[in-house]
Structure 1
Amino acid sequence: MDTLPPLSALPSGGRLTVDLSALVGNWRTIRSRVGAAEAAAVVKGDAYGIGLEPAARALHAAGCRTFFVALPRGGVRLRAVLPDAVIYVLNGFFDGAGPVYTAARLRPVLGSRAEVDAWLAETGGSGEPAAIHVDTGMNRLGLTRDEAVAVAADAGLLARLRPALVMSHLACADAPGHPLTAEQIRRFTEVRALFPGVPGSLSNSAGVDLGPEVHHDLVRPGIALYGARWAADRPPLEPVATLEGRLIQVNEVPAGAAVGYGAAFRAERPSRIGIVSVGYADGYLRRAGASDAGPGASAAIGGMRVPLAGRVSMDMLAVDLTDAPAELCRRGGWVELFGRTVPVDEVAGHAGTIGWELLTGIGDRYERRYVGG
């Protein structure tokens, strides 16, 4: 039997093109907006779906030195390609994984008194770097204010802990004028004063344009780096990811003919329907599809928008190519599902979700191409 080619060389139903130059440009834009604060990079969720290692290498080469991941395994992957970076684990310290944190020089973001105690027990109070997360109103992770006061007042504990960062997380900064944002800013300023000399971090992407009282010493942009919208009143930066699907068949269907499962969509005129080899198994959400009751998301071919036709199925979706140039509508061609012509947030909106979910849900069946950087 002949030797089979590697899986990466086999045909794919879709391809993801990642513009690393756009990623770096977005980081530099953010850095220019935050004054003297350091601009870190949040690369959790496989760098929001675009690939942790290539994204981190490009950002590090541009000057980014501090990174945030969600889990220890992300930190270990990151350490393998960035031996000198500062790496924080946002989901904190996982019991039993102490040797991993030590060997990979990962800094847990400690979000409860129990977690602080577990970290000190693991490290023997040797002062291994860690962050303290204080809840300022999100009620997700973080020490309460009273717990933070107790930690700050315990000189012996602080001497063993020696926090490298005190941080919190904005819950509603993407909604202009939300009253909780001002309250969180006030609470964090008070809490940070309990830890003199320790750098502070409050700003996620949504806080970048809110000024120095949010920036503190370090900002933690995530979704803004990847070119999706991070706040209702601010336009996204440069798109980084372009998702395309391969045309595997083009059908001429008569007026009134049903397309896809459930006969939920019927052609209103004689139509050219393209079948694209991408579906919800690839992370393209089913709710983005179209029906007679209302339009779904758009796609694009040759820079021209075309509507989806019918439901998204597991491995395929259909697009209406009737108005597109016939020479583009051929088997083997490519259809943009989101990218520069069709913004990821627009597709996400049709699916009833946000750009974060669409990006991080990108599956592993795509051919991946990296350009720029």
Structure 2
Amino acid sequence: MSDSREGLLTIDLQAIGDNYLDLCGRLASGSRCGAVVKADAYGLGMTEVAPALYRRGCRDFFVATQAEGERLRAELGGDVTIVVLTGVRAGAELECARAGLIPTLFTLQQLRNWVDLCAQASIEAPCAVKVDSGMTRLGMTPEEFEQLVADRELLAAANIRLLLSHLACADEPAHPQNRVQLEDFKRAGERLRAQCPEVLLSLANSSGIFLGEEYHFDIARPGSALYGVNPLPGTPNPMRQVVELSLPIVQKRHVSSDRSVGYGATQSVSAGSWLAVARGGYADGILRAQGGRGCGWGSGKRLPMVGRVSMDSTTFDISGLSEAEREALESIEVLNGELTVDEVAEYAGTIGYEILTSLGNRYYRRYLRS
């Protein structure tokens, strides 16, 4: 029997798998779908999520760090490709190569170090190169990339398997930056493939998949959409809901006079109100910014959050429930089909990614499988 005294986080692996297949079906012919499972699969548990995706046919995985890649390799074995998106630390190149990981390299110096160390150890290890197409974050500058394609000796030795870049505005389909980045990346891909014809190209993230076939190239790498975040903000979410979070109630109380609630006395309730205090606060991913703005769900109704969220508890106004409903109420849901990740993110003034990756480790986690 599950112990949900600290809160119950339900993660639907079937829904994640269905979202993956949905995204696969949207790709152009000849493109394949990978999966980003960094940050412990966006907080939902990489060792559970990645095998579920593997069972649905995914063989291209993307992580943020070498440590994540090593964990994933131990979990899935040798027949998957694992790309480390934030590269490899100086001095850790041989460990990365021996673990069968593909580091994403951002500078010519990183690429030269990789080639030299692998040659010294007689290891034939592939790598990925990231080019900055306009996000101005990680990636080779246009000047460095020009030097790379002019260095035939380095290209011959580098064993580059993948060229990738990252879209800055994919969740805004009409933004002109998307087209600018697409054209820059196409030119980079053509330049590199002229000398390394086997190199694969990857540009589209979750929202990028929905920009159209031009953006799909060889491998798409969705992340957030797999976990239920809407890749098309402002329109109906095409993805299935993945998570539900239920917080146990630790106290119900009747307010006999007008009172303020919580730290800072930022919000008040009137005499006659009923409150429920649930176990779960900002230490558990109930972001403090939701206080006084967010809500929970109980007895089929929305229950407003009252006052500031505390580290370990959150207060809800349950005055709108009948006496029988109040008595029967044992928990309050803060994520479900009615309170989606995207809606909760809006209350907190953030994005669904942060909601998912902030979920704490004190919850009992229940995984739903097919």
* SS of structure 1 residue aligned to 2:210: helix
Matches of residues 1-373 of structure 1 in structure 2 within 5 Å? 12-36=5-29, 37-83=31-77, 84-124=79-119, 126-196=123-193, 197=197, 198-236=199-237, 237-268=239-270, 270-290=272-292, 296-330=293-327, 333-373=330-370
Preserved contact between residue 112 and residue 141 of structure 1 (Cα < 8 Å): no
What CA distance in whole angstroms lies between the structure 2 residues aligned with 1:109 and 1:235?
Answer: 34
Answer with 162-171 or 332-341: which moved more: 332-341
What CA distance in whole angstroms lies between the structure 1 residues aligned with 2:147 and 2:286?
Answer: 47
What CA distance in whole angstroms lies between the structure 2 residues aligned with 1:303 and 1:120?
Answer: 60
TM-score norm. by structure 2 comes to: 0.93
Q: 1:12 to 1:319 in 2, by over 3 A?
A: same
What 5-or-longer segments of structure 1 have no aligned partner? Answer: 1-7, 291-295
* SS of structure 2 residue aligned to 1:30: helix
Preserved contact between residue 20 and residue 58 of structure 1 (Cα < 8 Å): yes
Residue identity opposite 1:20 in structure 2:
L
TM-score norm. by structure 1 comes to: 0.92
Q: Offset at 1:28?
A: 0.6
Q: Offset at 1:349?
A: 1.2
Q: 1:11 to 1:224 in 2, by over 3 A?
A: closer
What CA distance in whole angstroms lies between the structure 2 residues aligned with 1:302 and 1:368?
Answer: 23
Residue identity opposite 1:217 in structure 2:
D
Q: Offset at 1:146?
A: 2.4
Q: Between the two proteins, what is the percent identity of the paired residues? A: 39
Residue identity opposite 2:277 in structure 1:
I
Q: Offset at 1:152?
A: 1.9
What CA distance in whole angstroms lies between the structure 2 residues aligned with 1:93 and 1:213?
Answer: 30
What CA distance in whole angstroms lies between the structure 1 residues aligned with 2:326 and 2:80?
Answer: 47
Q: Offset at 1:304?
A: 2.2
Q: 1:78 to 1:17 in 2, by over 3 A?
A: same
Deviation string 1:313-370 (CA, Å, 9 cap, x unpaired) is 0100001112234445358822111121201111111111111111101111111010
Preserved contact between residue 303 and residue 341 of structure 1 (Cα < 8 Å): no
What CA distance in whole angstroms lies between the structure 1 residues aligned with 2:362 and 2:87?
Answer: 31
Preserved contact between residue 298 and residue 329 of structure 2 (Cα < 8 Å): no
Residue number in structure 2 paired with 1:3: none
* SS of structure 2 residue aligned to 1:193: helix
Residue number in structure 2 paired with 1:293: none
What CA distance in whole angstroms lies between the structure 2 residues aligned with 1:74 and 1:339?
Answer: 28
What CA distance in whole angstroms lies between the structure 2 residues aligned with 1:164 and 1:263?
Answer: 58
Preserved contact between residue 4 and residue 363 of structure 2 (Cα < 8 Å): no
Q: 1:325 to 1:23 in 2, by over 3 A?
A: farther
Q: Offset at 1:242?
A: 1.1
Across the two proteins, how many residue pairs are aligned to each other? 361
Residue identity opposite 2:95 in structure 1:
V
Q: Offset at 1:211?
A: 1.4
Preserved contact between residue 203 and residue 217 of structure 2 (Cα < 8 Å): yes
What CA distance in whole angstroms lies between the structure 1 residues aligned with 2:152 and 2:36?
Answer: 32
Over the aligned positions, Cα root-mean-square deviation in angstroms equals 1.8
Residue identity opposite 1:91 in structure 2:
T
